[in-house]
């Protein structure tokens, strides 16, 4: 038996399982999926979990069952590419013949002192739960500072402002306008929504230090009862510590067939992979489709495609509370109820296709 080991049961590796099961795995291959969590987590909904507007159960999807698939639940601490071993925190090591690294990303704190220690995060389920507890136990009129007005910061700020209008939400961002990756029309729409919902946007901010219950904007103290960091991501620590070539964001540089140069049997999927788009669940899934093609060709003793057509993404959808949203679909800006409905529909379809 050969071992195909999947590290992380996130969007990338779930798509790989979806395509390989039920009949795409040769009889001599056994799959082992390793994750610290015993179910697939819908990370794109962590902002709502933290705001307290959906239940924990709502964003868990059971892992699939198959006779050629087993699970190992635990914390991956390192990978030895030369010995083909994955080391776990409990002291166990798992040998692989083929490996797919899909461990996702973590917060990037840009060296800001105190940021890691004194801010909450929505980058992993346990951290989003801790944010939920802190945010939802706040007394009326408390102040929440959210650092970073990208997609996740905007979704968290709006969800919180709508569900806890008694709180004072401050959204800190470096730029002149929030969501700079979107057309200005969309940023303006989101900013108007924030004005109507009493979210304070602090433009041109530069968070220089964080202490318990206070962040420093351009060295000026701003008291906050809870601070949430949404100001940057980087690949998982296990991947950062791999001694292989990385891009400027620390993501692993891959061949056109998505494996690590020099390690034909090690693929990297999703947020840890250097790809020509910003990390997203959609991108992880599209890349996973290509990885499956490479694997299956090789298992059949055929040459894998020498390259793939560029990955085309369908667009981005963001929510502003439960009723409004914004998005860019086929390069068309959308605002209002339609993108919000589309976003809910995408989530429903995702759960449906994963047997939920």
Ligand X SMILES: Cc1cc2nc3c(=O)[nH]c(=O)nc-3n(C[C@H](O)[C@H](O)[C@H](O)COP(=O)(O)OP(=O)(O)OC[C@H]3O[C@@H](n4cnc5c(N)ncnc54)[C@H](O)[C@@H]3O)c2cc1C
Tokens representing 79 are: 């990978």
Specify the residue, 71 or 216, whose C-beta has the smaller distance to ligand X: 71
**Given 163, 282, 293, 344, the residue binding ligand X (CB under 6 A):** 282
> Per CB under 6 A, does 281 bind ligand X?
yes
**Listed ranges 130-138, 175-183, 278-286, 295-303: which one lies at the site for ligand X (CB under 6 A):** 278-286
Hey, what's the torsion of the CAs at 64, 106, 73, 349, to 10 degrees? Answer: -10
Residue number with the smallest Cβ distance to ligand X: 10
**Listed ranges 59-67, 239-247, 281-289, 329-337: which one lies at the site for ligand X (CB under 6 A):** 281-289
Check if the beta carbon of residue 311 is closer than 8 Å to that of residue 275: yes
Radius of gyration for the chain, computed over Cα atoms and rounded to the nearest angstrom? 21
Footprint of ligand X on residues 137-196 (CB under 6 A)? 151-152, 155
**Given 284, 286, 320, 334, the residue binding ligand X (CB under 6 A):** 284
**Given 6, 11, 32, 226, the residue binding ligand X (CB under 6 A):** 11
**Given 158, 205, 271, 290, the residue binding ligand X (CB under 6 A):** 271
- Min dist CB 301 to ligand X, Å, is 29
Strands 85-88 and 93-95: antiparallel
d(Cα 280, Cα 102) in Å, to the nearest integer?
Answer: 12
**Given 114, 148, 150, 270, the residue binding ligand X (CB under 6 A):** 270
Nearest residue to 308 via CA among 255, 272, 266, 345:
255
Tokens representing 116 are: 């890691």
**Given 20, 59, 76, 79, the residue binding ligand X (CB under 6 A):** 76
Specify the residue, 94 or 122, whose C-beta has the smaller distance to ligand X: 122
Strands 2-7 and 98-101: parallel
d(Cα 104, Cα 236) in Å, to the nearest integer?
Answer: 6
**Given 18, 43, 101, 170, the residue binding ligand X (CB under 6 A):** 43
Whose structure tokens read 């085309």?
A: 312
> Per CB under 6 A, does 231 bind ligand X?
no
> Per CB under 6 A, does 37 bind ligand X?
yes
* Binding string, residues 92-131; x marks residues near ligand X by CB under 6 A: ----------xxx-----------------xx--------
Specify the residue, 119 or 123, whose C-beta has the smaller distance to ligand X: 123
> Per CB under 6 A, does 259 bind ligand X?
no
**Given 5, 47, 169, 257, the residue binding ligand X (CB under 6 A):** 47
Check if the beta carbon of residue 178 is closer than 8 Å to that of residue 149: yes
- Min dist CB 225 to ligand X, Å, is 21
Contacts with ligand X, residue ranges (CB under 6 A): 8-12, 34-37, 41, 43-44, 46-47, 75-76, 102-104, 122-123, 151-152, 155, 236, 238, 270-271, 279-282, 284, 317
């Amino acid at each position: 038996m050969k071992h195909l080991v999947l590290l992380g049961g996130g969007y990338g590796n779930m798509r790989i399982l979806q395509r390989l099961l039920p009949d795409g795995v040769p009889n001599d291959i056994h799959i082992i999926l390793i994750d610290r969590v015993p179910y697939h987590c819908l990370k794109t909904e962590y902002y709502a979990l933290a705001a307290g507007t959906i239940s924990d159960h709502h964003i868990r999807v059971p892992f699939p069952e198959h006779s050629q698939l087993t699970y190992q639940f635990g914390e991956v601490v390192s990978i030895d590419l030369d010995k083909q071993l994955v080391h776990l925190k409990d002291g166990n090591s798992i040998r692989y013949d083929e490996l797919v690294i899909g461990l996702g990303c973590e917060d990037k704190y840009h060296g800001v002192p105190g940021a890691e220690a004194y801010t909450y995060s929505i980058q992993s389920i346990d951290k989003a739960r801790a944010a939920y507890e802190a945010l939802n136990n706040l007394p009326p009129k408390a102040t929440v500072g959210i650092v970073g007005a990208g997609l996740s910061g905007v979704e968290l700020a709006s969800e919180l402002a709508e569900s806890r209008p008694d709180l004072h939400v401050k959204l800190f961002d470096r730029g002149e306008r929030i969501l700079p990756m979107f057309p200005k029309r969309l940023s303006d729409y989101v900013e108007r929504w924030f004005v109507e919902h009493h979210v304070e946007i602090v433009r041109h901010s530069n968070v220089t230090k964080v202490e318990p219950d206070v962040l420093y904007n351009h060295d000026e103290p701003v008291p906050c009862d809870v601070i949430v960091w949404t100001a940057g991501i980087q690949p998982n620590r296990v991947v950062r510590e791999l001694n292989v070539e990385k891009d400027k964001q620390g993501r692993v540089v891959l061949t056109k067939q998505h494996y690590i140069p020099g390690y034909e049997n090690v693929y990297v999927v999703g947020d840890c992979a250097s790809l020509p788009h910003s990390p997203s669940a959609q991108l992880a899934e599209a890349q996973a489709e290509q990885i499956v093609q490479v694997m299956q060709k090789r298992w059949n003793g055929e040459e894998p495609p020498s390259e793939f057509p560029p990955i085309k993404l369908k667009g981005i959808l963001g929510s502003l509370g439960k009723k409004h949203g914004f998005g860019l679909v086929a390069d068309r800006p959308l605002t209002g109820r339609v993108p919000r409905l589309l976003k809910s529909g995408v989530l429903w379809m995702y759960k449906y296709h994963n047997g939920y």
